[in-house]
């Protein structure tokens, strides 16, 4: 059997470095003016690095057979990032084949994950497993249901979706990072970043709902 240790370590290094830089860029994207030059630049680079993180994560799971739980974290962050990017580009709830295909592929991935964990016994904290799987299923379900929302009612919902999903991608990445670095403090080191992300999602969405409402009244 060939020795994959160098390739494995190289993959881990790329994964960690890309993820760390993506987190810093995510913070910049959150704190800079929305729609501005720096927000767009940091957001684009964040997505590029997220792609690298996802690819190296999948390589780690399927090639080097390491930490299968990372599969669902990877799928969650990838789906959030992809869907958040797509809604910014389309700004509509009209079905697109690429969006439907990625949603179905994500459902298949989470189904494989649940089957695998059931077969070997769930040795991860239930709160982490169920919350992660639940978050992915919830957002995918919404992405199918939103196709039924009338165009007039949908209006500015694309903006709230973009905010929710991009913060979700950042939060998933942060949870994976903190859960790995502060492994002795699990499940809190993975769960608390999700709580922070939820508060950020609510805060930003409420802010823009009020801002858009005030603009429409003037």
Q: Count the residues in the chain.
A: 218
Do 75 and 172 lie in one domain? The reply is: yes
Model pLDDT, residue 68: 62
Model pLDDT, residue 135: 87
Of the chain, the percentage scoring pLDDT greater than 70 comes to 89
Task: For residue 20, give the 3-state DSSP assignment.
Answer: helix
Token look-up 């969650």 returns 76
Do 45 and 110 lie in one domain? The reply is: no
Higher pLDDT, residue 190 or 199? 199
Name the pLDDT band for 2 (thresholds 50, 70, 90): low
In angstroms, rounded to a whole number, what is the distance separating the alpha carbons of residues 22 and 167? 12
In 3D space, the residue among 61, 56, 23 whose CA is nearest the CA of residue 42 turns out to be: 23
Task: Tell me what the pLDDT averaged over the chain comes to.
Answer: 86
What would the pLDDT profile of 40-84 be if each residue is shown by its tens digit? 999 999 999 999 998 998 888 778 776 666 667 778 888 999 999
| Parent domain of 205 | 67-217
Model pLDDT, residue 65: 72
Do 86 and 190 lie in one domain? The reply is: yes
């Amino acid at each position: 059997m060939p020795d994959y240790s160098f390739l494995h370590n190289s993959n881990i290094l790329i994964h960690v470095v890309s993820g760390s830089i993506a987190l810093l860029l995510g913070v910049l994207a959150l704190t800079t003016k929305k729609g501005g030059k720096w927000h767009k630049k940091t957001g684009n680079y964040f997505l590029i690095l997220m792609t690298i993180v996802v690819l190296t994560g999948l390589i780690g799971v399927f090639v080097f057979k390491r930490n299968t739980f990372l599969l669902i974290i990877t799928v969650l962050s990838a789906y959030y990032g992809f869907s958040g990017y797509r809604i910014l580009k389309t700004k509509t709830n009209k079905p697109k084949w690429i969006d439907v295909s990625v949603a179905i592929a994500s459902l298949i991935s989470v189904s494989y994950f649940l089957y695998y964990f059931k077969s070997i016994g769930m040795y991860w904290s239930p709160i982490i497993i169920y919350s992660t799987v639940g978050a992915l299923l919830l957002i995918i379900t919404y992405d199918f249901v939103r196709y039924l929302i009338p165009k007039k009612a949908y209006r500015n919902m694309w903006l709230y979706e973009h905010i929710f999903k991009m913060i979700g991608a950042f939060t998933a990445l942060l949870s994976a990072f903190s859960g790995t670095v502060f492994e002795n403090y699990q499940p809190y080191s993975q769960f608390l970043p999700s709580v922070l992300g939820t508060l950020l999602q609510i805060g930003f969405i409420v802010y823009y709902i009020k801002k858009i409402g005030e603009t429409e009244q003037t």
